[in-house]
Amino acid sequence: MKVNGTHYRSLWWDMNQSVLMIIDQRWLPHDFRTQALHTLDDFATAIIEMRVRGAPLIGATAAYGMALAAALDPSDSALNAAWEQLNATRPTAINLRWALNRCAETLQPLPVDERAAAALKLAHAIADEDVEINRRIGAYGLLLIRDIAAKKPAGEPVRLLTHCNAGWLATVDWGTATSPMYQAHDAGVPIHVWIDETRPRNQGALTAWELGSHGISQSYITDNAGGHLMQHGQVDLVITGTDRTTRQGDVCNKIGTYLKALAAHDNDVPFYVALPSPTIDWTVSDGVSQIPIEDRDSREVSHVQGVLDNGEIDVLRVTPEKTSCSNPAFDVTPNRLVTGLITERGICDASEHGLAAMFPDLIRKAAL
């Protein structure tokens, strides 16, 4: 997507420096900064500190981390150590382990002297595949938006609600939940997007920055406003992303997603999840009991980052001093609350039968 007239992906390979470049998302939406990742520690820190964030982007970043490791030392022991270091960075988003396992499966059979080139080629492929997956998700999601638009008076926008940031910043490009929005806007379908602020890190501000840069009509709302809007008929469709989805269609996403699904269910509002296939964990059936939920630093709850009146970016404490805070980063929405899953192959039911019918090759591979 474009930033100040220049097209960016959320990460890209600098051919001149032979180094991976990322957008340091800690500073957005207030400042646009980029960073080069030179060491394996740089890669791990970027993931842990959410300089890169979003399940698909974490996976792509990890693949480039393995490429760096292979360039430095392609031995089995060094690659295993790199796999362990990167895998330990964040526990919930399954794309991380998916990308690392794909790298290991590709590199292990190769002669040591061929691994570095193969690892970089694979990292490029994973990044490019993510872009195409998200483009296809958007094309299928656009069909849902068009169907709603066709039932509305001419010119009245389709009103969508989204939670957290499942945009191009959370992927390599396009985004998952935002891809249908971009494609609807570009196709001339009028839309308006309600954007949850998504505490504690206010990642909705990233979505607002993205969609606003694209000229999409939007309103930034508090996390607790969505149910009210649904009660009053002001939401036609909810679309969120996902960090891990079980084989039976339970969806793990940013904390607060479950509450949006409950409100949508109570008000007969369709609740869809944009699901790239690498985000499916075929080894897990019950998301509530089996998906590990990351507990993050309590400072993310007690403090907020913003821009002061003098234009400086600063962090302020919003809780009483020494207040104890809890910070579970994700929750699980049971499949019974999910209207459907928007995948790169089409839209399916949030069920084991629906996912198996959509991805028979992947479920067979997982069973091996």
Residue numbers annotated as active site: 243
**Residues composing the chain:** 368
Cβ 336 vs Cβ 249: under 8 Å: no
Kindly list the distances between the CA atom of residue 9 and the CA atoms of 57, 61, 170, in Å, as whole numbers in the listed order.
10, 12, 10
Residue 216 Ramachandran class (φ > 0 left, ψ -120 to 50 alpha, else beta):
beta
Kindly list the distances between the CA atom of residue 204 and the CA atoms of 8, 221, 325, in Å, as whole numbers in the listed order.
20, 9, 21
Which residues, listed in sequence order, are joined to residue 273 by a DSSP beta bridge?
240, 341
What 259-262 contacts at long range (C-beta under 8 Å, 24+ apart), as own/partner pairs, is: 259/227, 260/161, 260/163, 260/196, 260/226, 260/227, 261/333, 261/337, 261/338, 262/337
Helix, strand counts (H, E) of the chain: 13, 18
> Three-state DSSP class for 24?
coil
Does an H or E element contain 70, and which?
Answer: helix 55-72
Angle 130-64-19 (CA atoms, 0-180°, nearest 5)? Answer: 115
Residue 332 amino acid letter: V
Distance CA 64, CA 110 (A): 18
Cβ 87 vs Cβ 100: under 8 Å: yes
Q: Which residue, 216, 215, 195, is CA-closest to 206?
A: 195
Instruction: Note the Cα 137 to chain centre separation in Å.
Output: 13
Kindly list the distances between the CA atom of residue 240 and the CA atoms of 164, 332, 357, in Å, as whole numbers in the listed order.
8, 12, 22
Cβ 66 vs Cβ 97: under 8 Å: no
